[in-house]
Amino acid sequence: MASHRHSDPPSDPALRVKALESLLTEKKLLEPAALDALIELFETKIGPRNGAKVVARAWTDPTYKKRLLSDATAAIAELGYSGMQGEDMVVVENTPAVHNLLVCTLCSCYPWPVLGLPPVWYKAAPYRSRAVIEPRAVLKEFGLELPESIEIRIWDSTAELRYMVLPERPAGTEDLKEDALAKLVTRDAMIGTAKVAGPSR
C-alpha cells in the first residue's frame, strides 16, 4: 500500500526477528546471550506471585495496608518489587460496595513488577474497547456477575501510572497465615476480572 513505510516485510514474524537480531549482532550492537538472562527474569521471577504476596501482606498487616493505599510504589518496594513499568504505582481497594477494574485502552500498560507481563486478552481490542463502556458485560464474560448495587470503577492505565487491585479477603480465611493467603490470590483478581475464592475444602 502507498502509505507503507518500506517494502513489505515477510509474513513470518520469526524470520523478521531473526533478521533484526542478526543485523544488530553483526553490527556488534547486540549480545543475544545477554538478552536471554533478561527474558528469563520475566519467565521465572517477575509475575503475579509477587503481587499476591503484596495482597496477602495487606490482608494481614493493617499498617502495611495503610501504607500500600497511600504510597503504593514505596510499600511494594518494601517487599522487594520495583523497576520497569512499575515506577509509579497506585493500589485501589475492592470493598463490599466498590469493585475496581484495570484496563489500558491505548495499549498495554500493566504493572510488570507485581503482575509480570499481561495476558493476550488484556492487550487485545475487545477488552480494551469494551472495559470502559460495558464493564458489567465484560466481567460476565469472565464469570463474574456483580449486583447493580456495587459501583464499578475503571482505571485506565498510562505509561506513567500503573494500577493494581487489592481484592477483598474471602470469608473463611481467618485462620490462614500470609503464605497460605498469597496462594489464593490470582492474577485476574488483581486486574479486577475476578474475585478471590476461599480455600477449597
Partner 1 sequence: MNGIHDLGGMHGHGPINSEANEPIFHAPWERRVFGLLFTMFSGGYCNVDEFRHAIERMAPAEYLSTSYYEHWLHAMETLLIEKGVIQQRELASKWAALGKGQM
Give the footprint of partner 1 on this chain (CB under 8 A).
1, 3-7, 9-10, 13-24, 27, 29-30, 35-36, 38-39, 42-43, 47, 103, 105-108, 116-117, 119-121, 123-133, 138, 141-142, 156, 159
Clarify whether 108 is annotated catalytic: yes
Spatial distance between the Cα atoms of 15 and 7, rounded to a whole number of angstroms: 15
Nearer of residues 38 and 171 to partner 1, judged by Cβ: 38
Residue 61 C-beta: closest distance to partner 1, Å: 30
Residue 193 C-beta: closest distance to partner 1, Å: 8
Clarify whether 7 is annotated catalytic: no
Out of 11, 22, 82, 108, the active site residue is: 108
Out of 22, 70, 107, 129, the active site residue is: 107
**Contact call for residues 51 and 115 (beta carbons, < 8 A):** yes
**Contact call for residues 97 and 150 (beta carbons, < 8 A):** yes
Q: What angle do CA 184, 158, 169 make, to 5 degrees?
A: 20
Clarify whether 82 is annotated catalytic: no
Cell numbers for 183: 496462594
Clarify whether 11 is annotated catalytic: no
**CA distances to 3, 16, 25, 84, 112 from 40, in Å:** 38, 22, 20, 15, 14
Nearer of residues 1 and 171 to partner 1, judged by Cβ: 1
Out of 3, 22, 82, 109, the active site residue is: 109
**CA distances to 76, 118, 138 from 130, in Å:** 30, 17, 7
Nearer of residues 29 and 171 to partner 1, judged by Cβ: 29
**Contact call for residues 135 and 101 (beta carbons, < 8 A):** yes
Nearer of residues 60 and 123 to partner 1, judged by Cβ: 123
Q: Which residues are catalytic?
A: 104, 107-109
